[in-house]
Amino acid sequence: MIARVVSGRLHYAWIVAAVTFVTLLAAAGTRATPGVLIVPLQHDFGWNRAEISAAVSINLVLFGLIGPFAAAFMARFGIRRVVLGALLTIAVGVGLTTVMTNLVELYLLWGVVVGVGAGCMASVLAAVVANRWFVARRGLLVGVLTAAGATGQLIFLPVLASEVVTVGWRWASLTVAGALLLAVPLVFLFLRDKPADVGLRAYGATEEEAPAATGNPFATALQGLGLAVGSGAFWLLAGSFFICGATTNGLIGTHLIPAAMDHGIAEVTAASLLAVIGVFDIVGTIGSGWLTDRFDSRWLLFWYYGLRGLALLLLPFVLGSSFLGLIVFIVFYGLDWVATVPPTVALATSIFGKQRGPMIFGWIFAAHQFGAAMAAFAAGALRTWLGDYQVTFISAGLLCLIACGLVIRIAREPTEVARPPRLVEAPAGY
C-alpha cells in the first residue's frame, strides 16, 4: 500500500535507490574501519602490520569473490532477503571482534565473516538495483550509489578515529555494528525486489523486462564466469579493475592513515584526510555517472586511471612534507577514487547484456578485490621490511598507467554472452 501511494507522486525506483544508498552508507563503516584499527591493534596485541594486513586481505578477497554469487542469489531469492542477511552477518562479525584475543579470531571474524557479509553489499548491489529498477539515468544512479561508500567514509572515519583515541577501538567496532543494525528495519519495510512487485515498470522502461534466471544461483554464477572467460573484453576489464582495487581499497583505504602517522600526523587528522578524499569522491563519482550516460566509457576510464597514477606518484614526495602538495593529491585522487565504477558497469552491461551484465560485473569486481587484497598485504609486508611506503606508492602509480593501456583496448560490441541466459534448473529439493 505504501509503495502504491508513493509511486503516484514519485516512481518507486527512487525509493529503492534511496534505501539502497542509506544501506550502502551504513555498510561503508566496514570499509572505513581497517585503516583506523591497524595501529591500535598493533599496540594492543603486539601484532605487526603484515599480520594485521593479512586479515584485511582475507576480507577483501571474500568481499570480491562473493559478489557474483550475491548477484545470482539476488536473482533467485530477491534483493531484500540477501541484503538483510548481509547486514546481520556483518553486524555480528564486527560486534564479536570486541572480544577477540588472538590472530586466528581476527582472521575468522574480520576476514571471513565480515568479508562474506560485505561481499553482498559491494558494488554488485548497485549494479543489480540500477539494472533492475532503471533504464533511464542508469549511469547516474550507479554513480550515486557508488558514492554512498564515500559518503559513509566521510561520516565514519572522523568518528571512528576519535573513538579510538578517546574510548578505545572496541567502541569503534560497536559503532559500526550499531549502524548496520539501524539499516535493517529500513530495508525490511521499503526495499522491493523488482518493479513488478509494486505494479510498475523500471524507471524509463517502455516494455516489460524479460524474466531473470531462477535456477541454482551457484550454477548460474559459475556458468556466467565460464562464458565470460572466453571474452577478451572480460580480461581487459578484470585486469584494469584488479589495478583499481590495488590502488584504492587495498593501498590507500587500508594504509594511508598508518602511512600518515609514520610522518608524524595524528590519527584523527590522518582519518580526516581520508574523509576529505571522500568529499571529492562524492563529486567525482556522481559526475562520473553523469558522464557515463553521455561519453565513451573507455576514454573516461583512460583519464581516471591516468590521473590516479600521477597522484600516487606524487604522494610519497608530499606526505608529511608539503601541505600544498598533499592538497593536490587529495583533490585529484579523491575525484576518481571510485569514479571507475559507473563506466565499468556500463561496459559490462553493454558488452555482456542486461541479464548477465551484473553477474559478470561481479566477477570483474572479484578481480578488483583480489587486487585490493594483494596490495593490502604487500603494502603491510613492505612497510615491515623496508620501514616506509615509498616503493609501494610509486609502484601503485605505475600500475595505474598500465591500466590506461588496458581500458583503451576494450571493444564495446556485445558478445555472444549478451544473449538471454539459459535457465539452470535447481536440483530436486534445493
Domains and CATH numbers, the chain: 9-195+214-413 (1.20.1250.20)
pLDDT tens across 124-145, in order?
788 788 888 888 888 788 888 8
Answer yes or no: is pLDDT of 68 > 90.
no
Residue 105 is given by DSSP the state H
Residue 209's pLDDT band, with cuts at 50, 70 and 90, is low
pLDDT tens across 336-383, in order?
887 898 899 889 888 888 777 777 888 898 898 889 888 988 988 888
Answer yes or no: is pLDDT of 207 > 70.
no
> Taking the model in full, what pTM does it have?
0.71
Whole-angstrom Cα distance, residue 103 to residue 22? 32
Q: Are 156 and 28 in contact (CB under 8 A)?
A: yes
Location of C-alpha cell 571529492: 280
Cell of 339: 569514479
Q: Are 34 and 253 in contact (CB under 8 A)?
A: yes
Q: Please tell me the least confidently modeled range out of 108-112, 223-227, 235-239, 331-335.
A: 223-227
Residue 150's pLDDT band, with cuts at 50, 70 and 90, is confident
pLDDT of 397 reads: 94
Answer yes or no: is pLDDT of 217 > 80.
no
pLDDT tens across 88-109, in order?
999 999 999 999 999 999 999 9
Answer yes or no: is pLDDT of 402 > 90.
yes
Answer yes or no: is pLDDT of 393 > 90.
yes
Residue 210's pLDDT band, with cuts at 50, 70 and 90, is low
Closest Cα to residue 97, out of 115, 80, 79? 115
Give the phi and the psi of residue 203 in degrees, each rounded to 5.
Answer: -60, 120
Alpha-carbon torsion (382, 384, 388, 389), positive or negative: positive
Q: Are 243 and 295 in contact (CB under 8 A)?
A: no
Residue 255's pLDDT band, with cuts at 50, 70 and 90, is confident
